[in-house]
Amino acid sequence: MGRVAAGVKRVLELADRRHSVNDAVYLVREFISPNTREISHAQEYLSAPWPQPSPHAPGRIAPAVLHVPQPEIKVFLDTIVARYIHTLRWGWPDALRTVIAEPNAELPSDAEFMAVFTETALGQEICPGLDERDQEDFAQVLKSSVNGSDRDYYKIDTHHVDRFVPVRPDLYCCPTVTLLEKVDGCFTPRAIRCGSHVFTPTDGDAWSLAKLYAIQGAVLRFVLSWHPRVHFPSDTVVAVSKTVLPEGHLLHDLLMPHFYMQLPLNFAVLYVNKSVAQNRQREPYTPFLHVPESLFEFVSADYEGVDGNRAFPAYRFWEETPDGCTDYSTFIRGLYDVVLEYVAAVLTDELDGDDAVAAWAGQIAEHLPGFPGSDEIFEGDTLHRTVAAVITNCGIIHSADHCSYARIPIHRGPLRLRVPPPEPGLKLTGRERFVNHEDVFRHALAKRMYFEPTTLKRMVDLHEQFRGHRIEPHARRFTEAFRDKYWEMGIVKYIPLEEIATSVQY
């Protein structure tokens, strides 16, 4: 661990002196070598991507891939970083226009509050059922509820925002749990525990402000701990696939289009000080309220899980194809089914018992909870479902999460708040500034640079990446079926068809 700590410290020192990502990756390679416990030819892998415990929080967040191939870093610098720089130079007028158009956050009505969840990807945070603590906190509300059946109760839990300690001066967040009741297929907010107080719709201004805090907590969770479950655990799949599967192997060739740009992008997010996630305020596009040291404590809640809280299960691979409470899960499941048909058509019985596939699955299973091992991968259609889940996660879920979240107006989903959490009996004057101009500007610039889709390679063009390959006819049929399924479902509010990318590429 001494060499790990020294390596990470040196990486951060380089970033502070504004060196390039290339320099940082080089130093990480020098100080931190991959885990070679089960690799017979260790020297061969020193320059290959490989998962290892995260230096930030070993075992508590997803394994890290620190040794990113130099050619991938160059592509990242020439495309993604170049776009960041262009947006910094020319995107600020749009951010200023947002400041003028949306200068303050707005207190939502009950209908507007629920729309933030039922009409966007944030619906993934709606959790069925209540825990014992919730039953106690909402006991009075549950007694007077319209419907007494436990199965009709749901919650939105953002209690873990208290891991952002301390937050930046003059900014606030507050742990919340929102009690929802589902009646005739519709969710209705019944109560919100905000800090140590429980508020209901009869509490007037305090109820309105509690809803704004619940939205802020849900947005922070979505961006900084829920959506990272899409990004970082799959780094293990990418690294092992690139290292273990030989070029020309059918599984290798099928997967590679869906790994474009992921490793250097995720490395930059996690380990470069100029990253939006680090939230260092010298950069104008950092919109959050945490100090950098608290970020990974926050992220850990949605990876290692929280004991006794059903809203925070520990990460497992199969959870990345969601089975949720809104039609977001219907949308993802529908497109996953098309991906599964495509994978099954490509990966025929010729891979049954294949040594490379067994090694691939076995190595990933060592690092990624829930991933099938070297024997399980050949049981039934496990290989097909596993590969389809990987492709769906890296392409469809990642893209839909970004686009759907980016469509939430800033005044509806603030990342910062400057008014203290509500107390019983609160009366607002109507002149409160829930956010200031700097908050809106930073949020708008970050939205333009990081949250909105900037698709480079589209899923509907996937067949073009297989020209002359035996997969090409299958990929053509897939893209046609993919289009048909998208329009057949009629769920277009999350993302336009043409914005769905093949990989984690923004």
Dump pLDDT digits (tens) for 404-420.
999 999 999 999 999 99
pLDDT at 10 over 80: no
- State how far the Cα of 265 lies from the Cα of 51, in Å rounded to an integer: 15
- Residue 190 has a pLDDT of 97
- pLDDT, averaged across the chain: 90
CA end-to-end span of the chain, whole Å?
Answer: 32
- The residues pairing with 198 across neighbouring beta strands, listed in sequence order, are 193
- State how far the Cα of 418 lies from the Cα of 433, in Å rounded to an integer: 7
Is the separation of the CB atoms in 456 and 83 below 8 Å? no
- The residues pairing with 135 across neighbouring beta strands, listed in sequence order, are none
pLDDT at 322 over 70: no
Least confident of 216-230, 307-321, 325-339: 307-321
CA dihedral 251, 252, 257, 258 (to 10 degrees): 70
Least confident of 18-27, 69-78, 410-419, 477-486: 18-27
- Residue 348 has a pLDDT of 87
- Residue 47 has a pLDDT of 67
Is the separation of the CB atoms in 250 and 351 below 8 Å? yes
* Helices and strands of the chain, counted as H and E runs: 20, 5
Side chain identity at 340, as an amino acid letter? L
- Residue 147 has a pLDDT of 52
- Residue 16 has a pLDDT of 41
pLDDT at 372 over 60: yes
User: What pLDDT, in 10s, does the model give residues 205-261?
Assistant: 999 999 999 999 999 999 999 999 999 999 999 999 999 999 999 999 999 999 999
Decide: helix, strand or coil at residue 124.
helix
- Residue 184 has a pLDDT of 87
Least confident of 22-26, 34-38, 170-174, 207-211: 34-38
**Which percentage of the chain shows pLDDT scores above 90?**
84
With cut-offs at 50, 70 and 90, classify the pLDDT of residue 37.
Answer: very low
Beta strand 126-128 pairing with 176-183? unpaired
- The residues pairing with 197 across neighbouring beta strands, listed in sequence order, are 194
Is the separation of the CB atoms in 248 and 493 below 8 Å? no
- Residue 316 has a pLDDT of 94
Q: Which ranges constitute the DSSP H helices of 154-244?
A: 205-221, 228-231, 234-244
With cut-offs at 50, 70 and 90, classify the pLDDT of residue 21.
Answer: very low
Q: Rg of the chain's alpha carbons, rounded to an integer? A: 23
Q: Residues 6 or more apart from 360 whose CB is under 8 A from it?
A: 240, 241, 244, 245, 251
Burial class (CB in 10 A: 0-12, 13-18, 19+), 274: middle
- Residue 129 has a pLDDT of 93
- What is the average pLDDT across 196-203? 97
All structural domains of the chain with their residue ranges: 33-506
Q: Residues 6 or more apart from 258 whose CB is under 8 A from it?
A: 390, 391, 394, 395, 502, 503
216 torsion bin: left (phi>0), alpha (psi -120 to 50), beta (else): alpha
pLDDT at 120 over 90: yes
Q: Residues 6 or more apart from 285 whose CB is under 8 A from it?
A: 88, 276, 442, 445, 446, 449, 450
> When comparing pLDDT for 174 and 32, which is higher?
174
Report pTM: 0.89
- Residue 318 has a pLDDT of 80
- Residue 145 has a pLDDT of 63
User: What pLDDT, in 10s, does the model give residues 246-304?
Assistant: 999 999 999 999 999 999 999 999 999 999 999 999 999 999 999 988 999 999 999 99
Phi then psi dihedrals of residue 269, to 5 deg = -60, -45
Phi then psi dihedrals of residue 456, to 5 deg = -100, -45
- State how far the Cα of 1 lies from the Cα of 81, in Å rounded to an integer: 31
Residue given tokens 């970033």 in the structure block:
15
Comparing CA positions, the residue from 34, 63, 124 lying closest to residue 304 is 63
pLDDT at 5 over 70: no
- Residue 146 has a pLDDT of 55
pLDDT at 459 over 50: yes
- Residue 307 has a pLDDT of 94
- Please state whether the peptide bond connecting residue 264 to the residue before it is cis, i.e. omega within 30 degrees of 0: no
- State how far the Cα of 133 lies from the Cα of 227, in Å rounded to an integer: 26
> When comparing pLDDT for 133 and 20, which is higher?
133
Strand order of the β-sheet with 186-194 is 126-128, 153-157, 176-183, 186-194, 197-199
- Residue 11 has a pLDDT of 38
User: How many other CB atoms are found less than 10 A from the CB of residue 350?
Assistant: 8
- The residues pairing with 326 across neighbouring beta strands, listed in sequence order, are none
Half-sphere exposure of 101 (CA within 13 A, CB side): 10
- What is the average pLDDT across 483-490? 97
- State how far the Cα of 5 lies from the Cα of 379, in Å rounded to an integer: 41
- Residue 42 has a pLDDT of 35
- What is the average pLDDT across 315-339? 87
Length of the chain: 506
- Residue 151 has a pLDDT of 53
Phi then psi dihedrals of residue 285, to 5 deg = -105, 15
- State how far the Cα of 443 lies from the Cα of 441, in Å rounded to an integer: 5
Comparing CA positions, the residue from 202, 458, 485, 137 lying closest to residue 334 is 485
pLDDT at 356 over 60: yes
**Which percentage of the chain shows pLDDT scores above 70?**
89
The tokens describing 305, both together, are 């899980």
CA dihedral 415, 390, 273, 400 (to 10 degrees): -30
